[in-house]
Every structure is written in structure tokens, then in C-alpha cells.
Amino acid sequence: MRTASRFLIAIIFLAVVLGGIFGYKFYQFGQMEEQMSKPQPATKISATTAKTESWTPSIKAVGSIKAINGIEVANEVPGIIESISFESGDTVKQGDVLIRLNTAIDEASVRTRRAESQLAEQEFKRISDLLPKRAVSQSQYDESKANFDAARARVNEADAQLSKKIIRAPFDGNLGIRMVDQGEYIATGTPIVEINMLNPIYADYTLSEKNLQQVARGYSVVVTVAAVPEQEFLGKVSAINTSVNPETRTVRVRATLDNPKNLLRPGMFATVQTKQPKDNDVVTVPRTAISYNTYGDFVFAVEKNDEGDLVVNRRTITAGPTRDKRIAVLSGLKAGERVVSRGLLRLRAGQKVTVQDENKDEEKQPQEASE
């Protein structure tokens, strides 16, 4: 009997506890339904109007900066450096002396060759005077003339060999870091110093074969480099390769740029925009108005519902190129339509909104840019 009483008491206790829990949850659900039934306040947003702008179409590519003339100066003949006539970083003109090698042996050789040439010349003149008198044969005359010509050639050869002991700048340009020292013995082909012609300068890049018909000589280009991110360098397409690389299906393009301050240096990584000669009208919005998604980019368009309230609706769009902190919208949006310009993550389709700011520049709100 006691066991049955205890069991009954436990059942009553559990019923009371569970009843209380279910009653509390039912009360919470009621409160939530009541809250949901109340009209929600409209979310404040910043909006902007899509507008039509005239943009010059361009093709973006990457490439490298290359000097019009750029080499490592080297010697043609071996020798000991007698003097160095430049400092690292100098600007030189074509023909300026860079280094001189020891020339003692070569100068002696030139004197020997000139003495031999003088002797051959005298011999030739004597035979030339005797030939009209038939005192010498024609073959003797021919032999003396050949000896004289050979002697003169040997003089020229010795002079040329001597001149190679003086290394000169092959063209106007800027020198790099000196790689040899005075008194050093250098073998043939030893790098002495790098020299580059920096103004003007080339930007070499590649384009896909599908863009080949969209570029031609004379088209304008805009080049930017990481070393000077705030500056754009202007130039023109000066050459297009005559063949397409069969492995990458790309074609090499070369642009010539002005570089008066020598800010561009050979080897720099460059971003190149090749501009088309004709402008196009495009619909643009601030780049913070677009949310990029794996399943498609979208904007929140500000519209009126059937009750006349402002709401936002998700609109899938096709984003195009970016320019001056604005993005071209290729499809999905028309000029004059209003879109939310920032704070996209806190919105949902059909949500009521009130416009707080109109046409506010989103690039002044860096904390929202990631959205």
C-alpha cells in the first residue's frame, strides 16, 4: 500500500512540474505571436540611384616593364682594369668612357705594325718608280703592293684591338651598380655595369587571342605599378606580335610610355589597361551597393509594395568593370532605379525601410566596404 501511495505522489509531482513547464512555454509562444503581430519599425537605410555614365571600354592585363635598351656592359678582350671613369648610378651619354684596361702590350704591337707598314710602303714606292723603266717585273710590283696592303691591314687590326681596351657606353642611359674594381683582371665577357635607357620605356604584356581584334597600334594604355600606386602612366600601343602562342593562346603586346622622372624601372610588375577609341554608356552604382555571391551578384532595389510602403527586394545583376570606386552593371538594373548603398547584410527581401541618406558616397564608409 505504501508503494502505491509513493508511486501516486511521484506521478502527481511530475504532472505538476511538466504542467508548469508546458504552461510557461505556451505563455512564451503567446508573447512571441503577440510581438510578431505588432507592426515592425522600418529599417533605416542609405540609398543611391543607379546612373548612366560614359566609360571608355578597356581590356585589363598584367605585364612587365622593360627598357627600350638595357644590357650588362661587358668587355670583348681580357685585361687588367687601369682606370674606372664612372660611379654607380651615373647618367651617361653614348660613347662616354666607362673603364680603361692596361694597354702597354697593345700599344707596343701597334708601333710594331706601323713600322712594318712604313717599310712596306717604302718598298712599294721604290718598285713603283722602277716599274715604268722595266727594271722590275710586274710580279715583283704585285707582290710589293700586296705586302703593303697586308701591312696596313695589320695596323688597322692592332688599332682595333687597342680600342677594345677602352669600354664605352653603347647608348644614352642610366648606370646600375658597378661590378668590377680598379686593378682587377677581367676575363672576356665579364659583366662591368648594367645600363638601361629609362625614358621612354616599354610595358610588355599579353592578351588572350579573343581580344586580338580589340587592340591596335596607337590605342591608349594606362599603366599602374605597385611601387607608385597613386600614379597612372600613360602611353600607346607601339607593337603587336605577329603570332599567337600556341600553348597559351595569347599574343604579346608592347606599349611605349613616357617616364621623365624614371619612376618606372625594368622588371616591375605592371597592370595595363588598353583603352578602346570609342566611349560606351553604362549603368553604374557604388561598389559597396553590390553583394558578391557564389550563386550570383545582387543588389537590394528600393521599391514600393502594394500598400505603398518602401521595401527592399533582392535583384540579381551582372557586374562589369570597376572604375573610380564605381561598378558597371551590365544587366539586371536600369538607370534611375534606387538601390541600397551600404549595410546589405542586415537586410532581407521584402523588408520595410526608410531612406536615411540619399546618394551618399560609400567609399567614405570603409567599415561597410567588406559587405
Least confident interval from 29-38, 329-338, 347-356: 29-38
pLDDT at residue 126, as a whole number: 84
pLDDT at residue 21, as a whole number: 78
- pLDDT score of 179 more than 80: yes
Q: Which three cell numbers stand for residue 181?
A: 674594381
Cα–Cα distance between 179 and 98 in angstroms, integer? 12
Cα–Cα distance between 78 and 229 in angstroms, integer? 45
- pLDDT score of 198 more than 80: yes
Q: Which three cell numbers stand for residue 228?
A: 607608385
Mean pLDDT, rounded, for 36-63: 76
Query: What CATH superfamily classification does 103-164 receive?
Result: Helix hairpin bin (1.10.287.470)
- pLDDT score of 178 more than 90: yes
In 3D space, the residue among 119, 101, 95, 103 whose CA is nearest the CA of residue 168 turns out to be 95
Q: What is the pTM of this model?
A: 0.62
Domains of the chain, by residue range, sit at: 43-53+280-368, 59-68+198-275, 103-164
CATH fold label, 59-68+198-275? Elongation Factor Tu (Ef-tu); domain 3 (2.40.30)
Query: Binning pLDDT at 50, 70 and 90, where does residue 367 land?
Result: very low
Find where cell 707596343 sits: 108
In this structure, are residues 342 and 325 in contact, taking their beta carbons and an 8 Å threshold? no
Question: Hey, how many other C-beta atoms are within 10 angstroms of the C-beta on 230?
Answer: 5
CATH fold label, 43-53+280-368? 2.40.420
- pLDDT score of 8 more than 90: no
List pLDDT tens digits, range 119-160.
Answer: 888 888 888 887 777 777 788 878 888 888 888 898 898 888
List pLDDT tens digits, range 251-301.
Answer: 999 999 999 898 999 999 999 999 887 777 888 888 888 888 778 888 888
Mean pLDDT, rounded, for 55-62: 83
Q: Which long-range contacts (CB under 8 A, 24 or more apart) does 112-116 make?
A: 112/158, 113/151, 113/154, 113/155, 113/157, 113/158, 114/155, 116/151, 116/154, 116/155
